[in-house]
Amino acid sequence: MSAEQAEKLDLSSYPVIGLGSGIYFTSHHPKLMEQAKRLGKGQQAFIFSTRGCPVVGKYHTALKQVLTEKQVTLMGEFSCRGYDCTGPYNLVNGGNKGKPNESDELRARKFIRRILPKEVKVPDIPLEKGKHVYVDAKSCIGCGTCVCSCPMNVLTIKDGKAVVIKDEDCTHCSKCADGCMQGSILIHHSKKEMIQIASKHAKRTSL
Ligand SMILES: Cc1cc2nc3c(=O)[nH]c(=O)nc-3n(C[C@H](O)[C@H](O)[C@H](O)COP(=O)(O)O)c2cc1C
């Protein structure tokens, strides 16, 4: 969405808002700043940006200040480098080529999973007794990221979807859910089960 389109949105009824743009002259896009000024008490916001410089430094300060003035709760902030064709970079067809890349996207997804309320980030799957790892078949695209990231080989791909084959081996490390681009995986263990997992694995010397 362009900054001009974003500026026209009425966000007053949204409880959680993500505010992000490239960094231009040390701060977010001016139209995004204007949008932030229309938010109010009771709303929560997270900030993100892409930038040319290697470090984010104080680039988020101006937007954070607006949120503070408007009594909007800041949930967290994320920034990564983005393709930059300003100044001397013009001479070499731009800097930060290929950015944001896959690893930035993964970090961004982890950030979202960390800050968003639980009900927003987990798929709506009814829990079943004795079952701990769930895959939402509707949203799973069978990319296999969960299969590759699970150190216990709990999941596999069958008929183009991730399926759980060794539920009992899950250690609740959450690598599968963290890496799932679709947000299709839900892991649930009771407190008692978590303690059992911890004590079982504390005794192990290898996987
Ligand atoms: C006019 C202009 C000013 C910029 N100023 C900064 C800056 O102060 N600091 C920085 O790190 N990057 C700066 N950049 C680089 C952008 O933040 C970076 O390229 C960003 O990924 C652009 O996002 P966009 O592709 O959504 O426009 C600037 C880029 C432009 C075009």
User: How confident is the model over 189-205, as pLDDT tens digits?
Assistant: 888 898 999 988 887 77
Its pTM surpasses 0.75: no
In tens, the pLDDT along 131-167 reads 999 999 999 999 999 999 999 999 999 999 999 999 9
- Probe target for ligand 1 pocket from 4, 24, 81, 83, with the most ligand atoms within 8 Å of CB: 24
* Nearest atom within ligand 1 for CA of residue 27: 8
| Helices then strands, each counted (H, E), the chain | 8, 7
Residues 116 and 15 in one domain: yes
Residues 74 and 112 in one domain: yes
Residues 86 and 11 in one domain: yes
CATH of the domain at 166: 3.30.70.20
Q: Is 90 in the pocket of ligand 1 (CB under 6 A)?
A: no
Q: Which of 91, 120, 149 is the last residue of a domain?
A: 120
- pLDDT of the residue at 200: 85
Contacts with 180 (C-beta within 8 Å, 6 or more apart), sequence order: 145, 146
- For residue 7, what is the enclosing H or E element? helix 3-8
- Region 106-119 average pLDDT: 77
Is the pLDDT at 81 greater than 80? The verdict is yes
Is the pLDDT at 119 greater than 60? The verdict is no
Q: What is the DSSP letter of 1?
A: -
The structural domain count of the chain equals: 2
Domain span at 188: 124-202
* Nearest atom within ligand 1 for CA of residue 23: 17
Instruction: Flag whether 57 is in a domain.
Output: yes
Share of the chain above pLDDT 70, in %: 95
- pLDDT of the residue at 144: 96
CATH of the domain at 26: 3.40.50.360
Residues 97 and 132 in one domain: no
- Region 166-190 average pLDDT: 90
Contacts with 36 (C-beta within 8 Å, 6 or more apart), sequence order: 19, 45, 63, 66, 67, 70, 72
Residues 84 and 162 in one domain: no
